[in-house]
């Protein structure tokens, strides 16, 4: 059996590695972006000088030969699913028995005037990093468009080189489609602390003007504001990279439609990662989830399926993590930007530091449904367990010390959190001692 994987990101690479553990089949990974897999989330640290590009490649070059995984640095031109063949950019044909689409995402652009000028780009690929390196050398000012995580990364990258940054956010608050009001306000205040980052809310890009050489020079907003910008970072989301499949007959919506076994509408064809859209998503999850860990999980599940162990993709309760400059963010379960009427919420915020906890739970039964945390690290495995077991919010607060993942000498705030909750909801919750270390010792012994 020959398994061909188009895309060498986290999903395609996870599939190849895990399939090799289960099968001696022939495996080929094709990527037009790079020969070797790299950590996409670490691109910003290469630009900022914290790491070299070779440092974000987790496997040595001989790993692939050692594991008999063939790598092709090429572009797929077309797919002939009837004859089980693909055509590469230079005309070479490759036969397959199983074909996997793991082609990831591409940055969104919305037909702005001047968006094709030099120095206007998103940040997703290795080529984007190289382009950003080239077009930001020696510049004085830049504009970042968009109010999400990639925009924050681009702003931090630019500021690290002393470049003045204007950040345009269409909504009245930062990441308004995701963060509830308390969290958004905390992050907005935190962003204002950073010298050189100028936040502009309720401002939309209208036009990018260029110089005589065809390079970005100025940004004009819909309100008529003008900002000098020799570089414009576009960070208004991403979309599945599936344009090359338009004539293949594979069924698509926003992404390539798949069932819970990651099978597409075409026989012997599968899709995983950012480009894949579930026909029937698990309760509490979205059909299209373009995050690192879901790509890894999909690759692992498909490896079981192709290895003969039919396995359904069930990712469990939602979780994610990110960083807003030096404020770490975690979310477990569902904490919607606008709370449903049938739910209650509790917010604890430190009076001076950028620390915040936001819990959401049912009015009836007090079942815990989700938590956002800023500046305080919590253990994923415990919150995953509590969400699956549908524990009450009282239980979660009682055992909050066990979930704390901050280093030993960090100050802990569980007692203050519980005291505030007891005051607000007239309860008498008491904090139980952390038990995680005992379980760790039992597991070792």
C-alpha 385: how far from its chain's center? Answer: 22
pLDDT in tens, 59-93: 999 999 999 999 999 999 999 999 999 999 988 99
pLDDT in tens, 35-60: 999 999 999 999 999 999 999 999 99
Q: How far apart are CA 243 and CA 186, in angstroms?
A: 39
pLDDT in tens, 158-178: 999 999 999 999 999 999 999
Q: Residue 285: exposed, middle, or buried by beta-carbon count in 10 A (0-12, 13-18, 19+)?
A: middle
CA distances from 204 to 118, 121, 201, 220, 249 (A): 20, 16, 9, 9, 37
Q: How many helices (H) and strands (E) does the chain have?
A: 12, 25
pLDDT in tens, 262-283: 999 999 999 999 999 999 999 9
The mean per-residue pLDDT over the stretch 317-334 comes to 96
Q: First CA to last CA across the chain, in angstroms?
A: 43
Cβ within 8 Å of residue 304, ≥6 positions away:
18, 22, 310, 311
The mean per-residue pLDDT over the stretch 4-17 comes to 98
Task: Supply φ then ψ for residue 287, to 5 degrees.
Answer: -65, -30
Q: Is the pLDDT score of 314 beyond 90?
A: yes
More confident residue, 325 or 437: 325
pLDDT in tens, 382-398: 999 999 999 999 999 99
Q: How far apart are CA 45 and CA 373, in angstroms?
A: 24
Decide: helix, strand or coil at residue 431. Answer: coil
pLDDT category at 435 given cuts 50, 70, 90 is low
Report the percent of the chain where pLDDT is more than 90: 92
Q: Is the pLDDT score of 442 beyond 60?
A: no
Q: Which domains, from first to last, does the chain contain?
A: 2-106+239-306 (3.50.50.60), 120-236 (3.50.50.60), 319-444 (3.30.390.30)
Q: Report pLDDT for 439.
A: 52
Q: Is the pLDDT score of 378 beyond 80?
A: yes
What are the helix (H) ranges across 278-399? 292-306, 380-389, 393-398
Q: How far apart are CA 83 and CA 76, in angstroms?
A: 16
Q: In terms of DSSP bridges, do strands 269-271 and 197-201 run parallel, antiparallel, or are they unpaired? A: unpaired
Our CA dihedral for 264, 266, 271, 275, rounded to 10 degrees, sits at -90
- Yes or no: say if 151 and 44 are a contact pair by the CB < 8 Å rule: no
Q: Is the pLDDT score of 205 beyond 90?
A: yes
**pLDDT, mean over the chain:** 95
Q: Report pLDDT for 445.
A: 43
Q: What is the pTM of this model?
A: 0.93
More confident residue, 19 or 433: 19
Q: Is the pLDDT score of 4 beyond 90?
A: yes
Q: Is the pLDDT score of 356 beyond 50?
A: yes
Q: How far apart are CA 239 and CA 105, in angstroms?
A: 5
């Amino acid at each position: 059996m020959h398994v061909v994987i188009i895309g060498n990101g986290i999903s395609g690479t996870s599939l190849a590695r895990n399939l090799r553990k289960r099968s001696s089949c022939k495996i080929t990974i094709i990527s037009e972006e790079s020969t070797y897999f790299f950590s996409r989330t670490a691109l910003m640290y290469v630009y900022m000088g914290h790491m070299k590009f070779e440092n974000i490649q987790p496997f040595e070059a001989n790993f692939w030969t050692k594991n008999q995984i063939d790598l092709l640095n090429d572009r797929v031109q077309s797919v002939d699913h009837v004859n089980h063949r693909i055509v590469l950019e230079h005309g070479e044909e490759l036969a397959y028995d199983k074909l996997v689409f793991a082609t990831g995402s591409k940055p969104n652009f919305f037909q702005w005037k001047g968006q094709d000028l030099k120095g206007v780009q998103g940040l997703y690929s290795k080529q984007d990093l190289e382009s950003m390196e080239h077009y930001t050398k020696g510049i004085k000012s830049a504009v970042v468009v968009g109010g999400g995580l990639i925009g924050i990364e681009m702003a931090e990258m630019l500021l690290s080189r002393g470049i003045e940054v204007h950040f345009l956010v269409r909504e009245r608050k930062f990441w308004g489609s995701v963060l509830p009001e308390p969290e958004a306000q905390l992050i907005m205040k935190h962003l204002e602390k950073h010298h050189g980052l100028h936040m502009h809310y309720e401002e939309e890009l209208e036009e990018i003007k260029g110089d005589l050489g065809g390079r970005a020079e100025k940004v004009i907003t819909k309100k008529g504001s003008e900002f000098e910008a020799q570089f414009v970072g576009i960070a208004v989301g991403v979309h599945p990279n599936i344009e090359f499949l338009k004539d293949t007959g594979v069924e698509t919506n926003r992404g390539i439609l798949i069932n819970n076994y990651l099978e597409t509408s075409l026989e012997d064809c599968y899709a995983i990662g950012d480009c894949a859209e579930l026909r029937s998503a698990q309760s509490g999850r979205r059909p299209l989830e373009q995050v690192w860990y879901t790509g890894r999980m999909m690759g692992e599940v498909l490896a079981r399926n192709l290895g003969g162990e039919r396995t359904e993709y069930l990712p469990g309760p939602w979780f994610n993590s990110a960083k807003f400059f030096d404020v770490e963010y975690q979310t477990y379960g569902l904490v919607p930007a606008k709370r449903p009427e049938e739910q209650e919420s509790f917010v604890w915020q430190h009076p001076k530091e950028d620390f915040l906890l936001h819990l959401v739970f049912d009015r009836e039964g007090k079942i815990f449904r989700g938590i956002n945390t800023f500046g305080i690290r919590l253990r994923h495995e415990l919150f995953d367990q509590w969400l699956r077991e549908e524990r009450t919010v009282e239980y979660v607060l009682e055992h909050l010390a066990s979930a704390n993942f901050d280093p030993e000498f960090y100050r802990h705030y569980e007692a203050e959190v519980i005291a505030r909750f007891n005051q607000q909801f007239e309860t008498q919750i008491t904090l139980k001692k952390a038990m995680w270390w005992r379980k760790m010792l039992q597991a070792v012994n």
